[in-house]
Structure 1
Amino acid sequence: MGSNTMGMPYGLQAMLKEGHKHFSGVEEAVMKSVEACKAISKCTRTSLGPTGLNKIIVNHLNKVYITSDAGTILTELEVQHPAAKLLVHAVKAQQQEVGDGANMVMSISGEMLSKAEALLRDGLHPTEVAEGYSKAAKKALELLKDLCIEDTKDLDFSDVGSVAERLKGALKSKQNGYEDYLAPLVAQACVDICPDNRQNFNVDNVRVSKLVGGFVDQSEIIQGIVVRRKCEGTVSCVENAPVAVFSQGVDTSSTETKGTVLIKSAQELKDYHKSEEKELEQIIKGIADLGTKVIISGQSIGEMAMHFIERYKMMAIKIPSKFELRRICRATGAQAIPKFIVPGKEQLGMAQKVEALEIGGNNVTVIKQDRRVGKVATIILRGATDHLMDDMERAIDDGVNTFKALCKDARILPGGGATEMALSKKLLEYGRKQTGLEQYAIQKFAEALEVIPLTLAENAGMNTTDTLAALRAQHAQGNGRMGVDSVASEITDLTKQSISDLFYTKYWAIKFAADAATTVLRVDQIIMAKQAGGPKRPQQGHWDDQ
């Protein structure tokens, strides 16, 4: 923007602070936003499906992530562009609501915007496109209900096998090849701790403990909690043990205020120490007299205290993490005691068995619990490298979230892009019946849904044009369950391999994707204030000279 003859800025420039950026109009704001969104959705698209590729991300703290999980990728990328941020927020909403299907949100919303670009170049107004998209999304969600595979409403939640079948799709798309090991594991863990009222299922109660070494099929489930440290002291295994949990340190109690003790002789000094010792012994003896066999401390355990704990043959475990301490309380039914005193009987918890084990060279302490009492299950994951297991943990996380979604709605849809293909076909028919300019947008929405089967084929290295043509032909003949099997690189009915997608996941994914896309389209000006002062962050050097 130039300035007029007097050297004074005019228009927006005069109104806003110096150093601001300002983009407006279809060409500048909308097209630029669409460009940014296309770029970010391209980034996650290559990771979609079982043959998706991994990304290596080094974040600003130099932590390395190797993953194909879109949720993780987008959380770790620090996206600056305001429009692209909108899509990232949609993905985060999907992660919070369902916990799976993040990549679908990103791919579909990116594709919708890319299709919208053509319409805008043809001279449609962004509002008309946005209206059409909203209308199409509404219709799509109605049509989705009819695509559900029949007789899938009822699921026997106590039968691990049938639950595992439903989780396979989610796990296969993250960890292809391992789903046969992981699905039964996750299903078993979820079924074991599922409360009577399934709506109250808490994802946090399925823990994952990663121990390097071994192979995936050596993973196992433990009812209760696995703590990744060895116990203090020599007692390493107790059964049917009452547990006392202290959120403070187990040590001589130091007073809150500063006090001065005047000591006149050596004898008094000895007595002073003795009295401190005596007090400590009394507390620990009191705890032991209650029948306690395990003392768990949230902070340090003093040497003197340890001596007495040993004398009364109790087991001591130190757990520095507050969250872990809470989970232990939940699993054993103990109350965390904030001060080192003799607790009341009702504050103790109960553990069936607490033992220190060595698994693959890792020292762990296992707090086992009966199924009915403990509401926590831990999957011990084995694998070759940390990165592999981190990604497995994300897959398991998706599996557990899928179980939670199943609890809310057990309906399933054909997998492998079959659902999107069928939806696309029906929406195209719906669009043709419309009058007005929205029909173009509805058609583009329908085409955008095809991005899922297209990407699955692309990531598997198949010929995308042929694959899509063949899929369309199959769907036109009424084979509505035909999808892309990207592992075998062919078009099949994946329900025969019991690979399916959840209705709940798809429903929210389409909803969030459409919302994000229409929001971006409705933006016509981007005004960015000058960034706040302060020195710039030091630029990271090249990684070869790190």
Structure 2
Amino acid sequence: MALQVPKTSGFAQMLKEGAKHFSELEEAVYRNIQACKELAQTTRTAYGRNGMEKMVINYLEKLFVTNDAATILRELEVQHPAAKMTVMASHMQEQEVGDGTNFVLVFAGALLELAEELLRIGLSVSEILPNLVRFDNIRVCKILGCGITSSSVLHGMVFKKETEDAKIAVYSCPFDGMITETKGTVLIKTDEELMNLIKAIADTGANVVVTGGKVEDMALHYANKYNMMLVKLNSKWDLRRLCKTVGATALPRLTPPVLEEMGHCDRRWHHFYHSTSGLYRQSDDDIERAVDDGVNTFKVLTRDKRLVPRGGATEIELAKQIISYGETCPGLEQYAVKKFAEAFEAIPHALANEVISKLYAVYQEGNKNVGLDTEALVPAVTDMLEAGVLDTYLGKHWSIKLAANAAVTVLRVDQVIMAKPDGGRKPPSGKKDWDDDRND
């Protein structure tokens, strides 16, 4: 008779083999806090103007060298559910404001780290929680060969071909006449019928055809025969931007367009400057992220024009006022309020540890705009308002709100259930750049 190891009684008995289950303070809450702290420590050294670069190799074995937290999180595969909450908060910050993703991670990690101190001295989670929220059309086209001073702004879209007096027919379906995305059916039995269909499109005056699907070789042949330029856009968002730019209507079926459905542009070209440069592709990626941050900052300013000092000035002032408020709170509540204020010091600490005492000393004198001077060779403070180093109020507001919400959500979780990962062992990758051995 074979011996059988009995399963654990209780909730774990209902789970499949291989599933993980954690509960209570020691197993769930402290584990969640530790995961979020480690994620925050990973990106903390990349915070600020002089942040360190991180080397990330994603699942496609593509190498990234960057200090941009949004790029780092996008390429990382975070498995822990609590750490994923802070990653989601950082993604929400990027969608809402477009900048400040690293602030959310660092601040959320600091909140959880200080909350852990209160939990270990005997406070409960319930005693801590009550004391703790049209520029999409701008795109960046990177072309190797020149520096950032050679950049220019183009009102329109960029393509690699040229034509004049273009009459543009736009289709959201494949350019082959066989399958459509709608319920309508197009049946073409012979090549002659396909040629007649493309000829009918050309007879309407269209000399540029844009499609959002695949292009059949025979359809491309007949398009060349009737001197029609064919452009394939895989992204439906790009297709919508093109329609808006040229005033066209995207047709769901491959039919000859009427004049009102076609777009028009006077001239379309791709200009090339002969030059030699030592810039590498990573520089282009950094410049693209810088332009994206600038565009998003302008987008935020159209919603709320208020600005706040950078360099840790805003965080120190908030910490000072919250500490003063904590002194007025009775009972155990004051501990949570003071730890919340202390979490704001994580931002100046990430910039330079030596200036915290200097900032508090200057703030006691009444100067609320003093922050870390990033231009100085040694840690020093300066007036951020006079130096013109400012941050958007809305970006700071959402950063604090999302980080606090993520920290509160992590602290509320007292049970973690992780299903067994699908699939078996990954096959060995083998030796790269080696040909397969074959016996002829």
Instruction: Please report the TM-score for the alignment, with normalisation by the length of structure 2.
Output: 0.85
Q: Quick one: structure 1 residues 247 and 73, their matched pair in 2 at CA, closer, same or farther if it must change by over 3 Å?
A: same
Question: Secondary structure at the residue paired with 2:143?
Answer: strand
- For 1:326, the equivalent position in structure 2 comes to 240
- For 1:480, the equivalent position in structure 2 comes to 368
Q: Which amino acid aligns with 2:350?
A: T
**Aligned pair 1:407/2:302, yes or no?**
yes
**Aligned pair 1:519/2:433, yes or no?**
no
443, 449, 456: which is aligned to 2:338? 443
388, 405, 411: which is aligned to 1:498? 388
Give 1:329 shift. Answer: 0.9
Q: Which amino acid aligns with 1:304?
A: Y
- For 1:52, the equivalent position in structure 2 comes to 51
Instruction: Please report the TM-score for the alignment, with normalisation by the length of structure 1.
Output: 0.70
- For 2:220, the equivalent position in structure 1 comes to 302
Instruction: Indicate the larger mover: 243-252 or 441-450.
Output: 243-252
Question: 1:351 & 1:342 partners in 2: Cα distance?
Answer: 19
- For 1:392, the equivalent position in structure 2 comes to 287
- For 2:148, the equivalent position in structure 1 comes to 216
Question: Secondary structure at the residue paired with 2:375?
Answer: coil
Give 1:68 shift. Answer: 1.6
| Structure 2: gaps spanning 5 or more residues | 180-184, 436-440
User: What is the correspondence of 1:352-371 to structure 2 with a 5 Å cutoff?
Assistant: 352-359=266-273
> Does the Cα contact within 8 Å between 2:22 and 2:417 map onto a contact in 1?
yes
Per-residue CA distance 1:207-261 (angstroms, 9 max, x = gap) = 110101111111110110012x3x3xxxx4425x4433344566799994474x8
> Does the Cα contact within 8 Å between 2:44 and 2:106 map onto a contact in 1?
yes
| Structure 1: gaps spanning 5 or more residues | 1-5, 134-140, 142-200, 262-271, 310-314, 362-381, 458-463
Question: Secondary structure at the residue paired with 1:211?
Answer: coil
- For 1:245, the equivalent position in structure 2 comes to 170
**Aligned pair 1:287/2:287, yes or no?**
no
Give 1:281 shift. Answer: 4.1
Question: Secondary structure at the residue paired with 1:224?
Answer: coil
Per-residue CA distance 1:147-167 (angstroms, 9 max, x = gap) = xxxxxxxxxxxxxxxxxxxxx
**Aligned pair 1:468/2:394, yes or no?**
no
- For 1:167, the equivalent position in structure 2 comes to none
> Does the Cα contact within 8 Å between 1:126 and 1:522 map onto a contact in 2?
yes
397, 419, 427: which is aligned to 2:322? 427
Question: 1:544 & 1:30 partners in 2: Cα distance?
Answer: 46
- For 1:31, the equivalent position in structure 2 comes to 30
Per-residue CA distance 1:121-177 (angstroms, 9 max, x = gap) = 2111122122222xxxxxxx9xxxxxxxxxxxxxxxxxxxxxxxxxxxxxxxxxxxx
Q: Quick one: structure 1 residues 513 and 383, their matched pair in 2 at CA, closer, same or farther if it must change by over 3 Å?
A: farther
Greater share of strand residues, 1 or 2? 1
RMSD: 3.2
Question: Identity across aligned pairs (percent)?
Answer: 40
Question: 2:70 & 2:430 partners in 1: Cα distance?
Answer: 27
Question: 2:319 & 2:423 partners in 1: Cα distance?
Answer: 50
Question: Secondary structure at the residue paired with 1:78?
Answer: coil
Per-residue CA distance 1:392-430 (angstroms, 9 max, x = gap) = 222222222222211111111111111001000000100
Question: 1:419 & 1:412 partners in 2: Cα distance?
Answer: 10
Q: Quick one: structure 1 residues 98 and 276, their matched pair in 2 at CA, closer, same or farther if it must change by over 3 Å?
A: closer
- For 1:20, the equivalent position in structure 2 comes to 19
Question: Secondary structure at the residue paired with 2:334?
Answer: helix
Question: 2:197 & 2:109 partners in 1: Cα distance?
Answer: 67
Aligned residues: 420
